[in-house]
Amino acid sequence: MSDEDVIQLVFEKYGVKISEDQIARAYGNEFRMSWKKSVEVGRFIKYMTLRQARQWLEDTVSLKKPIPLRRFTKKQAHHATPWGNWPVAKWPVKVAENYLRVLENLENNAKFKGLDVDRVVIIHAAAHRGITIRNYMPRAFGRSTPWNEQTVNIEIIGVELPQGVAPKRLKLKVFK
């Protein structure tokens, strides 16, 4: 995403004009994890503050709070929902750990640019498919089966919002 796209997105969502100096980016490439789960985690942490996203993902790693699945729900277990209206939820530990690494990078980039980390809001979180690591499993009678491993690239963009605009607490429609 270009800086102009980010500025337009912030104006549409929050009604605030920002400059290019208020944008921080982080990118993590070639993580060995599920692409589908990383798309769901990226969609979930979008529009959270940096602290809220970090806290939620740490709770996901410790299996306290789940990530709701909205798109990739076929053949997934449904739960009695103490957390809200989404019956399909997972605890993607490996994905959450990798997102925490990229969020730490985003926080360091924001500090380096002189931004207030408490007011940084995640505007864009995307997961893209990376390279496929090819491998083969030998079988009987000289055959082999492909045993490939997928990788994922994570892109997160955070923006420092003005004092009155940044969300003070976690407001989610998914969780009560």
The reply to whether 165 falls in a domain is no
Which pLDDT belongs to residue 85? 73
The reply to whether 12 falls in a domain is yes
Q: Are 106 and 50 in contact (CB under 8 A)?
A: yes
Q: Where in the chain does DSSP place strands (E)? A: 23-31, 67-68, 89-90, 120-133, 136-138, 144-146, 149-160
The reply to whether 176 falls in a domain is no
Which pLDDT belongs to residue 79? 75
Residue 35 is encoded by which pair of tokens?
């692409």
Residue 58 is encoded by which pair of tokens?
């740490």
Return d(Cα 133, Cα 149) in angstroms, integer: 5
Q: How many separate helices (H) and strands (E) can be counted in the chain? A: 4, 7
Q: Is 35 exposed, middle or buried (0-12, 13-18, 19+ CB in 10 A)?
A: middle
Collect all residues with Cβ–Cβ distance below 8 Å to 40 and sequence separation of at least 6: 67, 68, 69, 70, 71, 72, 90, 92
Q: Are 61 and 41 in contact (CB under 8 A)?
A: no
CATH number at residue 90: 3.90.470.10
Q: pTM score, two decimals?
A: 0.87
Which pLDDT belongs to residue 157? 95
Domain count of the chain? 1
Which pLDDT belongs to residue 106? 95
144 three-state secondary structure: strand
The reply to whether 170 falls in a domain is no
Which pLDDT belongs to residue 176? 43
Which pLDDT belongs to residue 169? 58
The reply to whether 171 falls in a domain is no
Which pLDDT belongs to residue 81? 66
Q: Long-range pairs for 9-14 at CB < 8 Å and ≥24 separation?
A: 9/123, 9/124, 10/123, 10/159, 10/161, 13/47, 13/123, 14/161, 14/165
The reply to whether 71 falls in a domain is yes
Which pLDDT belongs to residue 156? 96
Question: Residue 91: which domain range?
Answer: 3-77+84-160
**Per-run averaged pLDDT (10 residues), the chain, 176 residues:** 88 88 94 94 91 92 89 82 74 95 95 92 94 95 94 95 72 50
